[in-house]
Amino acid sequence: MDKFIVSKSKLSGTVRVSGSKNAALPIMAATLLSEEKFVIKNVPSLKDITTMIKILEVLGKKISFQANTLTVESKTKRRYVAPYRLVKTMRASFCCLGPLLAKRKKAKVALPGGCVIGPRPVDLHIKGLTHLGADISIERGYCQAKADNLKGNHIYLGGPFGSSVLATANVMMAAVLAKGSTLIEHAACEPEINALGQFLKKMGADIQGFGTPLIRIKGKKSLAGCEFKVIPDRIEAGTFIAASLATGSGLEIKGAEPGHLTSVFEIAKKIGAKITVNNKTKSIKVKTPGKLKAVNITTLPYPGFPTDLQAQFMACLAKAKGISLIHEKVYPDRFMHLAELNRMGASIQKLGPYAIIEGQKNLKGAETQASDLRASAALVIAGLAAKGGSKVSRIYHIDRGYENIEEKLQKLGANIKRIK
């Protein structure tokens, strides 16, 4: 199992953001809605992408993946089972349920796995698809669904912690082939949902309002193949902003979409960063000249502060002067990284869905292990800011969501290396 060796570093230079994993995975699942050819560009080379390729191949697709371009063609139409051995490794694989049901009239998809960040039920997925006329049951760890003819409906997708990105995606993909009109109310507004909507529209779907809480869809009998470019990864861009803050560095982030990061900029500026944005060139310049300041952060569905950046910014606030408070309102148990940061000299306490962070002058290198994808990024950031060397184990988590992360950091001057 690979590890990172990380030591205190000052970063400088330019880094380019990869395509969005969280956008690419539902888009890949949507290719199940047509038997025609797809060419999808700017797809990051990640473990999760490889897993989704394997799932699609099991479901009858022929796929090639070279130079961040994914070509998807059909080999057989008959398969409809997404097996546990693949689905268990990531939650986004559950997005196969909607398109399989819509196109092949039945689906058997293992209940999903992914990062250990607290309970993430699939009840909103089932609710939405049931409202479209699907007959769904949970048996022996699999979600089994069938529907001879899906029918459009008015569906409310709000949950106890707000909207659900993947449930919205699943219902969208099923509704585009359902008979009649569908209105999805309290839909997720994340840029990744907007990207999926753009992709479905390019396939010929009659869909409006994606990226807003109200999505209107008129079902079509069939959809076509298309070419598409995946949006930049806003979470990767935010992770580099956090690294700049924690290390007191200045760097330029290229290829990101600044409009996706407004809430992140707001928090970063309060902590002490100076941020300059060029919307034309998609460039973000970050400088952290002074000491970090304590802030309060509340994670919320988009356009609020992303839960996927909570851990990385906690690593920054561990060095900020004063007491910070993080309120996790998306996944209230998403604090597995807290104990590992405390091993590095941080002073963080958990109180229900809150983390209370008393900033320390220095962090100290230690042996740590990652519990999930974003926690692994937080531990790397802390290692870059800490005195002495750190070891971060279980970095297969970070390989799921960050393309060539150590190479990108090394080009910025980071003291980080991978060991077997």
Q: Token pair of 84, please?
A: 């546990």
Q: What is the pLDDT of residues 49-102, one digit of tens each?
A: 999 999 999 999 999 999 999 999 998 777 888 888 888 777 778 899 999 999
pLDDT score, position 71: 98
Report angle CA 394, 165, 255 to the nearest 5 degrees: 70
Domains of the chain: 3-17+232-419 (3.65.10.10), 21-229 (3.65.10.10)
pLDDT classification of 110: cutoffs 50, 70, 90: confident
Q: Tell me the pTM.
A: 0.95
CA distance 129 to 131: 5
Is the pLDDT at 117 greater than 80? The verdict is no
Is the pLDDT at 115 greater than 70? The verdict is no
Report angle CA 157, 49, 100 to the nearest 5 degrees: 50
* 115 catalytic residue (yes or no): yes
To the nearest whole percent, how much of the chain has pLDDT over 70? 98
Is the pLDDT at 203 greater than 60? The verdict is yes
Is the pLDDT at 113 greater than 90? The verdict is no
Q: What is the pLDDT of residues 165-178, one digit of tens each?
A: 999 999 999 999 99
**Looking at per-residue confidence, does 83 or 310 come out higher?**
310
Residue in 96, 115, 143, 189 annotated catalytic: 115
